[in-house]
C-alpha cells in the first residue's frame, strides 16, 4: 500500500501544479477580458479539443496497450506517431483552404483566418507531446512525468501573462498565447527527448502498425464522440444564446477543474498500473476496492465544491458570478469519468474498444435532447444539466459493457451514490431556500452509503500482508 501511495503522489505532483496554474490563470483572464471575449476564446478551445480527440486515431491508446509487449520502445514510438502526424498535414491543408469559413464559425468574423493556419501547425506539436508524455508515463517514472507535464503549462501561463499585460485584452490574445505557448513548450520537450526521434526505416513495422490501427479505429469514434459530448453544450449556447453565456459556462468549467485535477492525478497513475495488474493477474478485489475508494474521494471533493461554491467563485470577476449555479453540475463530468476508468477495464482488457464508441454514441442522445430542451430558456444552467445527465449515461453504459466483457466488478454501492450526486447538483443549480440543510442531509446520506469503503480501508491497514498493492 505504501508503494502504491508513493507512486500516486509522484504522478499527482504534476497535475496539482498544473491545476494551481490553471486556477491562477482563470481569475487573471476574467479580470482582463469580458465574458463575451472569454466565450469566443472558448470556442477555439472546444475545436482544439475536438480535433485533438480525432487526430490521434486511437494510436495513443494502442501505444499504451502494446507498451509492455514490444521490446524496442523507440520502434513502438515511431510506428505509433507516424499516422497521427500524416493526418495533421490534412488539417493544415484544411486550415489553409477554409480559413475564412472557420474563422466565421468560431468568432462570427471571417477576418481571423490566420488562427486556422497556426492551429494546424500547433497540432503537430500536440501529437509529439502526447506520445512523449505517454512514454514516460508507461515507464511509471512518476516524478519525471509530473515535471514535464507541467513544463508546457508553465510556458503557456507565462506567454498568456505577457500577452495580456502588453497586448490587447480580447479573445485574440488568449488564443495566440495558447498557440505560441503550446509550440514553445513542446519544442523544449522535443529537445530533451530527441532520442525518440532518431528515425530508422528498419523500425517500420507494417504488422505492428496495422495491429495498433485496428485496435484504435473504434477508439477514434469513441474519443471523437466523447469530446463532442463535452463540447455540445457550448455549441448549443453558440446557436441559441450569446458568447457571454458561453463565457460564464466556460468559467464554471474552470472552477469544476478542482475535480478534473483529481481525475488527471488518478488516471495518470491508474492506467499503467491497471495494465500491469492485468498482466500479473491480480484479483478482482483490488480493482473493486480502488473503484469504490476513488468514488468516495470524489464524493468528498464534490461536496467541498457544493458547500463552498459561492466562495470559490469569488476568484472570478463579478460578471462571472452566475457560474456558481452550474459548478456542481459540471463537477459530475470528471467524477463519473474517473470512476468509469476503474469500471471500464473489461472493455480495455478484452480489446473490444467498439463498446467505448457505442457508449459515447448512446450518451450523446440525452445531451442533444436536453440541450435542445433547456438551453433556450435556462442558458448556462440548461447546458450544465444536459452535460451532467449525459455523463450518468456514460458511466452506466461504460460499466455495463465492461461487465459484458467479463469484468465483474461490484458496483452495487456506486449506483445510488451517483444518482444522489446528480440530485444534489440539480438542486444547487437553482436558488432554493434552505439549500444548506438539504446539502448537509445529502452529504450525510452519501457518506453512509459508502461506509463499506471506510471499513475496507481499515481492514487493509490491519491485514496489510493479505493485500499486495505493488
- The alpha-helical segments, DSSP class H, found in 201-283 are 206-240, 243-255, 257-279
Condensed to tens digits (0 to 9), the pLDDT of residues 245-257 reads 888 888 887 777 7
> Cell digits for 424?
444534489
Lowest mean pLDDT segment, chosen from 97-106, 262-271, 343-352? 262-271
Condensed to tens digits (0 to 9), the pLDDT of residues 86-115 reads 888 888 888 888 888 888 877 878 888 888
Q: Give 185's contacts (C-beta < 8 A, 6+ positions apart).
A: 129, 151, 152, 153, 154, 155, 156
DSSP 405: T
**Are the C-beta atoms of 88 and 127 separated by less than 8 Å?**
yes
pLDDT computed for residue 15 by the predictor: 66
Residue 367 pLDDT class (50, 70, 90 cuts): very high
pLDDT computed for residue 11 by the predictor: 59
pLDDT computed for residue 3 by the predictor: 59
How distant is the alpha carbon of residue 259 from its chain centre?
A: 10
The pLDDT > 90 percentage for the chain reads: 17
Condensed to tens digits (0 to 9), the pLDDT of residues 168-201 reads 778 888 888 888 888 888 898 889 888 888 877 7
Please state the length of the chain. Answer: 470
pLDDT computed for residue 13 by the predictor: 67
Q: Which of 101-105, 207-211, 315-319, 374-378 has the highest mean pLDDT?
A: 374-378
Mean pLDDT for 413-434 is 92
Mean pLDDT for 310-334 is 82
- Concatenate the DSSP letters of all residues of 388-410 into one string: HHHHHHHHHHHHHHHHHTT----
Domain positions in the chain are 2-466
Lowest mean pLDDT segment, chosen from 303-312, 341-350, 386-395, 454-463? 454-463
Mapping DSSP to helix (H, G, I), strand (E, B) and coil, where does residue 412 land? coil
CA distance linking residue 213 with residue 79, whole number of Å:
10
pLDDT at position 395 over 90: yes
The single residue listed with the C-alpha cell 500536440 is 126
Residue 393 pLDDT class (50, 70, 90 cuts): very high
pLDDT at position 2 over 60: no
Tell me the HSE value of 229 on the side-chain side, using a 13 A CA sphere: 29
> Cell digits for 218?
473504434
pTM: 0.74
What's the start-to-end Cα distance of the chain, in Å?
7
Q: Which uninterrupted H or E stretch holds 24?
A: helix 2-32
pLDDT at position 300 over 70: yes
pLDDT at position 81 over 60: yes
How distant is the alpha carbon of residue 440 from its chain centre?
A: 29
**Are the C-beta atoms of 123 and 52 separated by less than 8 Å?**
yes
pLDDT at position 155 over 80: yes
pLDDT computed for residue 466 by the predictor: 64
pLDDT computed for residue 114 by the predictor: 82
**Are the C-beta atoms of 266 and 298 separated by less than 8 Å?**
no
Query: Among candidates 383, 392, 399, which has minimal Cα distance to 335?
Result: 392
How distant is the alpha carbon of residue 419 from its chain centre?
A: 22
CA distance linking residue 324 with residue 329, whole number of Å:
10
Amino acid at each position: 500500500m505504501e508503494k502504491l501511495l508513493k507512486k500516486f503522489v509522484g504522478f499527482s505532483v504534476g497535475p496539482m501544479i498544473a491545476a494551481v496554474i490553471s486556477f491562477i490563470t482563470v481569475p487573471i483572464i476574467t479580470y482582463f477580458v469580458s465574458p463575451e471575449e472569454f466565450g469566443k476564446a472558448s470556442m477555439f478551445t472546444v475545436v482544439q479539443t475536438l480535433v485533438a480527440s480525432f487526430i490521434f486515431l486511437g494510436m495513443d491508446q494502442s501505444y499504451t496497450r502494446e507498451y509492455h509487449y514490444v521490446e524496442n520502445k523507440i520502434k513502438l514510438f515511431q510506428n505509433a506517431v507516424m499516422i497521427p502526424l500524416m493526418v495533421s498535414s490534412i488539417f493544415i491543408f484544411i486550415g489553409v483552404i477554409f480559413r475564412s469559413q472557420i474563422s466565421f464559425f468560431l468568432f462570427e468574423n471571417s477576418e481571423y483566418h490566420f488562427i486556422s493556419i497556426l492551429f494546424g501547425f500547433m497540432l503537430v506539436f500536440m501529437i509529439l507531446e502526447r506520445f512523449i508524455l505517454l512514454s514516460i508515463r508507461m515507464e511509471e517514472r512518476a516524478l519525471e512525468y509530473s515535471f514535464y507535464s507541467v513544463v508546457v503549462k508553465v510556458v503557456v501561463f507565462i506567454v498568456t501573462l505577457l500577452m495580456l499585460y502588453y497586448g490587447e485584452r480580447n479573445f485574440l490574445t488568449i488564443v495566440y498565447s495558447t498557440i505560441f505557448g503550446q509550440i514553445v513548450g513542446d519544442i523544449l520537450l522535443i529537445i530533451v527527448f530527441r532520442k525518440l526521434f532518431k528515425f530508422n526505416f528498419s523500425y517500420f513495422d507494417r504488422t505492428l502498425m496495422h495491429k495498433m490501427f485496428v485496435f484504435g479505429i473504434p477508439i477514434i469514434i469513441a474519443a471523437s464522440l466523447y469530446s463532442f459530448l463535452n463540447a455540445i453544450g457550448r455549441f448549443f449556447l453558440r446557436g441559441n444564446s450569446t458568447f457571454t453565456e458561453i463565457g460564464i459556462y466556460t468559467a464554471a468549467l474552470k472552477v469544476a477543474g478542482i475535480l478534473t485535477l483529481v481525475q488527471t492525478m488518478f488516471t495518470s497513475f491508474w492506467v499503467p498500473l491497471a495494465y500491469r495488474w492485468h498482466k500479473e493477474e491480480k484479483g478482482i478485489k483490488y480493482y473493486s476496492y480502488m473503484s469504490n475508494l476513488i468514488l468516495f474521494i470524489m464524493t468528498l471533493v464534490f461536496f467541498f465544491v457544493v458547500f463552498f461554491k459561492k466562495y470559490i467563485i469569488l476568484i472570478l470577476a463579478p460578471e462571472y458570478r452566475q457560474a456558481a449555479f452550474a459548478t456542481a453540475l459540471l463537477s459530475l463530468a470528471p467524477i463519473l469519468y474517473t470512476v468509469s476508468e476503474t469500471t471500464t477495464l473489461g472493455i480495455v482488457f478484452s480489446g473490444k474498444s467498439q463498446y467505448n464508441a457505442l457508449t459515447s454514441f448512446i450518451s450523446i442522445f440525452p445531451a442533444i435532447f436536453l440541450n435542445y430542451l433547456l438551453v433556450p430558456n435556462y442558458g448556462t444552467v440548461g447546458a450544465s444539466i444536459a452535460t451532467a445527465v449525459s455523463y450518468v449515461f456514460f458511466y452506466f453504459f461504460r460499466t455495463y459493457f465492461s461487465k459484458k466483457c467479463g469484468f465483474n466488478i461490484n458496483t452495487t454501492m456506486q449506483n445510488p451514490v451517483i444518482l444522489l450526486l446528480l440530485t444534489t447538483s440539480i438542486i444547487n443549480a437553482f436558488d432554493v431556500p434552505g439549500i444548506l440543510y438539504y446539502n448537509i442531509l445529502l452529504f450525510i446520506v452519501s457518506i453512509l452509503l459508502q461506509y463499506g469503503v471506510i471499513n475496507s480501508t481499515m481492514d487493509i491497514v490491519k491485514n496489510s500482508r493479505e493485500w499486495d498493492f505493488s
